[in-house]
Amino acid sequence: MKRTAVVTGASSGIGEATARRLAAEGFDVVAAARRGKRLDALAAEVPGIRPVILDVTSQESVDELAASLDRCDVLVNNAGGAIGLEPVASGKVTDWQWMYDVNVLGTLRVTQALLPRLLASGDGVLLMLTSVAGFVSYEGGGGYNAAKHAQTSMTEVLRLELVGQPIRIVEVAPGMVHTEEFSLNRFRGDSAAADQVYEGVPDPLSADDVADAVAWCVTRPAHVNIDRLVIRPRAQAAQHKVHRV
């Protein structure tokens, strides 16, 4: 029987690329996200993908996803995002609340709902798509840094709590990735400001680069756990050190 992989936030960016890549690796892929039309188009294009509407901020929606699954061998918790670049002193509580609910509590909801199926598979893989923002803080990133630090901490705790169980807990933490929506959402739709983030940076990571890393992690032998894989473009040495031409 083919293994089943669930990918959240699969309607665009890293989630969509990961769904495509895991389908190519032979998984039955459940592509889950809020935007049904985009998921339907993806499923029509790529054999092996089943679209499911999912809002990770809704427990009811998460429970419906879990009830629709016969099995789950791999869960890629990818749904997340950032909004706003205000300093902490003037940051909007609603922005911080949204980032925490999506990145942290959304991950918690989906993990709790699908963990029994991952364990029942006999070789489950729970992969958290986090960020280097979860390790190093930077100005203007207070809310996103806080959320991603929490998600990274959750990953570490899960690995401790589930040791000895038939499951691997993996974290993939990308650096600078140029996707169609991440920075645009962060800059509240200001495309010029979003484009400046990547201006002059030779070859930032693509969504496909991260999907490749995810696929490698989840296809290792059952006894091999990739605790954390940090992936950056060659032009980015650290959060504050980026080569531009």
pLDDT of residue 215: 98
Q: Which of 100, 138, 144, 198 is catalytic?
A: 144
pLDDT of residue 92: 96
Distance CA 80, CA 69 (A): 22
Structurally, how many domains does the chain consist of?
1
pLDDT of residue 198: 86
- b/e 179-192 (16+ beta carbons within 10 angstroms → b): beebbbebbeeeee
pLDDT of residue 200: 92
pLDDT of residue 181: 75
pLDDT of residue 11: 96
Q: Is 100 a catalytic residue?
A: no
Angle between helices 207-218 and 13-24 (to 10 degrees): 50
Cα-Cα-Cα-Cα torsion 186, 197, 8, 83, nearest 10 degrees, comes to -10
The three-class DSSP label of residue 127 is strand
Distance CA 136, CA 152 (A): 12
pLDDT of residue 28: 98
Distance CA 54, CA 31 (A): 9
State the amino acid at position 200 in one-letter form: G
pTM recorded for the entire structure = 0.96
CATH number for the domain that contains residue 42: 3.40.50.720
pLDDT of residue 86: 95
**Nearest Cα to Cα of residue 125 among 114, 134, 135, 136:** 114
Give the single-character DSSP code of 29: E
The three-class DSSP label of residue 98 is helix
pLDDT of residue 121: 98
pLDDT of residue 183: 75
pLDDT of residue 154: 98
pLDDT of residue 182: 82
Range of the domain at 210: 4-242
Residue ranges in the chain whose pLDDT is less than 70: none
pLDDT of residue 3: 98
Strands (E), the chain: 4-8, 28-33, 49-53, 74-77, 124-129, 167-174, 228-231, 236-238, 241-242
